[in-house]
A and B are shown apart, each in its own frame.
Chain A
Amino acid sequence: MSAVFVILWKDLLSEFRTKEMVLSMLVFSLMVAVIFNFSFPPGSEFIQQAAPGILWMTLVFASLLGMNRSFVYEVDKGCMQGLMLAPVNRTAIYLSKLLVNFIFITIVELVVLPLFSVFFKLEVLHVAGQLALIMFLGTLGFTIIGTLFSAISVNTKTREVMLPILHFPVSIPIIICSVQATTAVLQEQGWQVLWGWCKLIVVFDIIFLIVAYFTFEFIIEE
């Protein structure tokens, strides 16, 4: 377990010194949100109904940007061999990368969500807790899948292009449930509906985590 935190600390430290990942994800997601805004007629009512979908698409796009990079430095600078030579469990590498990605995206979300609610005229303060729960579960879901696939895509010829192609079809369930749960919160459809979707996300998160846990070591061995 301590190996997980050592790798996690290493990545957090290098990010803290350069700030390149979080900053680019942040700027990118704000720009996506603004561009989505232009796809509706000015002052349209639809935009509020579409807001949960736009929010999640923005976050998934931004997170792909970050997850694409999560193994690039390791592979390009030869650090991956160092990690694999270290006498630690291979899955520790996966778990630490998962945590790093999750932390980065959560930071982005903390900044994006308030701005998003201003842009799209959403009342989020009174449901902040429920939104935080959905954000936590949904983000965890697509980071579990994304971290696994980024270890694959970094070794392909097309790298940045391959990750979304692998990631999108598989993460559709997580995105559907997260969007529906967010809609349930914003349109005040009640706890029953929200809880139904959240339960599904929890189950999907667990299933994907188990599959990722057992398949990751096959990706990085060589």
Chain B
Amino acid sequence: MDNKSSSPWVRILVVATLITMLVDLYLIFEFAPTERAMGHVQRIFYFHVPSAWVAFLAFFIVFIGSVGYLWKRDRKYDMIAHSAAEIGVLFATLVMITGPIWGRPVWNTWWEWSPRLTLFLVLWFIYIAYMMLRSFVEGEERSARFAAVFGIVGFVDVPIVHLSIRLWRDIHPSPVIAGGDGSGLHPDMKITFFFSLFTFTLLFFWLLVQRLRLEKSTVATSELKKQIAY
């Protein structure tokens, strides 16, 4: 097995992620102005939205990995899908935790069946099911194949779920970034927000690289075990 830790690109990624994370913390807690109506709790927005973005990115990579695996039958694609799914579930969980912390003081409720919340909850369930499926199937090749099918169906389901629950009343704040009346952020907030997005994306790729290394060592270990056993 090649040792990817020595790759200069990974080192650059690690250093860049660590630096941007520190800068991001400064931006979030010092640089960004305090929101007038909501107060400090609004700062959770810089964690909440980027986490949601990373979760969506991760699930998209699960989809790409799944299609790639069924097409090329290369173990590599399955490893990518598996790793991305795990990180996606982690960040989706973070979204589900940070959301209520913000929602309790601002909406006066921990949970609301608004379309976006419901969508995320369903999304979370789909990828929890994906992880469970992986662990309940015997045989690596079969597990990869089934997971790939479910990864594809699950991802195709996302816009469908979104469409079907959008018709309900929505109390989620309308997108503040992409324009519309009464939207718009303070410029400093905007800088912080986009920097946060960038930081979380870097963090995602770093975690993905680490998770892939772990997966590769797991495969290598089981290969070695087989060689010893037989």
Contact = CB atoms under 8 A, between A and B. Distances in A.
B164 A169 contact: no
Given A170-B153, A211-B153, A215-B152, A152 B164 contact: no
Q: Is the interface of A mostly helix, strand, loop or mixed?
A: helix
Most chain A Cβ neighbours within 10 Å, of B122, B126, B152, B157: B157
B123 to A, nearest CB: 8
B137 A168 contact: no
A79 to B, nearest CB: 19
Nearest to A162: B136
B142 interface: yes
A215 to B, nearest CB: 5
A24 B180 CA distance: 55
Interface in A59-74: none
A200 B122 contact: no
A170 B157 contact: yes
A222 interface: yes
What range describes how many residues of B lie at the interface? 20 to 34
Nearest to B161: A173
B164 A166 contact: no
A5 interface: no
Contacts, number: 78
B145 A218 contact: yes
B230 to A, nearest CB: 22
Nearest to B145: A218
Nearest to A148: B153
A176 interface: yes
A162 B145 contact: no
A155 B146 contact: yes
A68 to B, nearest CB: 15
Given A173-B164, A177-B164, A218-B70, A162 B148 contact: no
B154 interface: yes
B15 interface: no
A145 to B, nearest CB: 8
A222 B146 CA distance: 12
Nearest to B167: A180
Interface in B55-80: 70
Interface of B: 70, 122, 125-126, 129, 132-133, 136-138, 142, 145-146, 148-150, 152-154, 156-157, 160-161, 163-165, 167
Interface of A: 145, 148-149, 152, 155-158, 162, 165-166, 168-170, 172-173, 176-177, 180, 200, 204, 207-208, 211-212, 215, 218-219, 221-222
8 shortest interchain CB distances as A-B pairs: A173-B164, A169-B125, A156-B136, A169-B126, A215-B149, A173-B160, A176-B164, A157-B136
